[in-house]
Chain A
Amino acid sequence: MAACTVYTTTKSLNTKCSISSPSKSHWGYFAQKQRLVIFRTRRRSSLCVITCGAVAGDHDQTVVIGLAADSGCGKSTFMRRLTSVFGGAAEPPKGGNPDSNTLISDTTTVICLDDYHSLDRNGRKEKGVTALDPRANNFDLMCEQVRALKDRIAVEKPIYNHVTGLLDPPELIKPPKILVIEGLHPMFDPRVRELLDFSIYLDISNEVKFAWKIQRDMAERGHSLESIKASIEARKPDFEAFIDPQKQYADAVIEVLPTQLIPDDNEGKILRVRLIQKEGVKHFSPAYLFDEGSTISWIPCGRKLTCSYPGSKFFYGPETYYGHEVSVVEMDGQFDKLDELIYVESHLSNLSTKFYGEVTQQMLQHADFPGSNNGTGLFQTIIGLKIRDLYEQIIASRARTPVGAAQA
Chain B
Amino acid sequence: MATITGLSLSGLGFLARASESQKAQAVKFPAHPGQRLGSGRMMAARPVRAAPDRISEKVEESIKKAEETCSDNPASGECVAAWDEVEELSAAASHARDRKKESDPLENYCKDNPETNECRTYDN
What residues of chain A have their CB less than 8 Å away from a CB belonging to chain B?
A: 71-72, 76, 95, 98-99, 121-122, 124-125, 127-132, 162-166, 213, 216-217, 219-223, 227, 230-231, 234-235, 237-238
Contacts and interface: CB of A to CB of B under 8 A. Distances in A.
Nearest to B96: A163
Given A95-B46, A164-B2, A220-B90, A125 B78 contact: yes
Interface stretch (B20-28, B30-38, B63-71, B114-122): B63-71
A128 B49 contact: no
Interface in B79-124: 79-95, 97-98
Contacts, number: 108
Nearest to A94: B112
Contacts of B56: 220-222
Contact of B87 (A72, A124, A221, A222): A72
A195 B5 CA distance: 39
Contact of B83 (A99, A220, A231): A231
Nearest to B102: A368
A166 B2 contact: yes
Contacts of A98: 46-49
B91 A72 contact: yes
B88 A131 contact: yes
B77 A227 contact: no
A163 B50 contact: yes
A163 B84 contact: no
B97 A71 contact: no
B97 A223 contact: no
Nearest to A236: B80
A131 B86 CA distance: 12
A166 B67 contact: no
A367 B67 CA distance: 39
Contacts of A131: 84, 88
Nearest to A72: B91
Contact of A220 (B6, B59, B95): B59
Contacts of B2: 122, 164-166
Nearest to A215: B94
Give the interface residue-count category, chain B: 35 or more
A163 B85 CA distance: 11
Contacts of B84: 124, 130-132, 231, 234-235, 238
Given A227-B67, A235-B83, 17 more contacts: A121-B85, A125-B85, A162-B91, A163-B50, A163-B55, A165-B85, A165-B88, A213-B90, A216-B90, A219-B97, A220-B56, A220-B60, A221-B56, A222-B64, A230-B83, A234-B70, A234-B82
A230 B70 contact: yes
Chain B binding surface SS class: helix
B83 A166 contact: no
B19 interface: no
Contacts of A231: 66, 83-84, 86-87, 90
B74 to A, nearest CB: 9
B3 interface: yes
A227 B86 contact: yes
B76 interface: yes
B57 to A, nearest CB: 9
A220 B92 CA distance: 12
A219 B76 CA distance: 29
Closest 6 CB pairs of A and B: A128-B77, A222-B60, A234-B83, A130-B84, A162-B92, A163-B50
A231 to B, nearest CB: 5
A151 to B, nearest CB: 31
A219 B50 CA distance: 18
8 contacts: A122-B2, A130-B84, A162-B89, A165-B2, A230-B70, A231-B83, A231-B87, A234-B84
A50 B60 CA distance: 53
A76 B95 contact: yes
Contacts of B89: 162
Nearest to B86: A231
B59 A235 contact: no
Residue of A122, A125, A219, A221 contacting most chain B CB atoms (<10 Å):
A125
Contact of A217 (B48, B67, B82, B94): B94
Nearest to A125: B81
A223 B6 contact: no
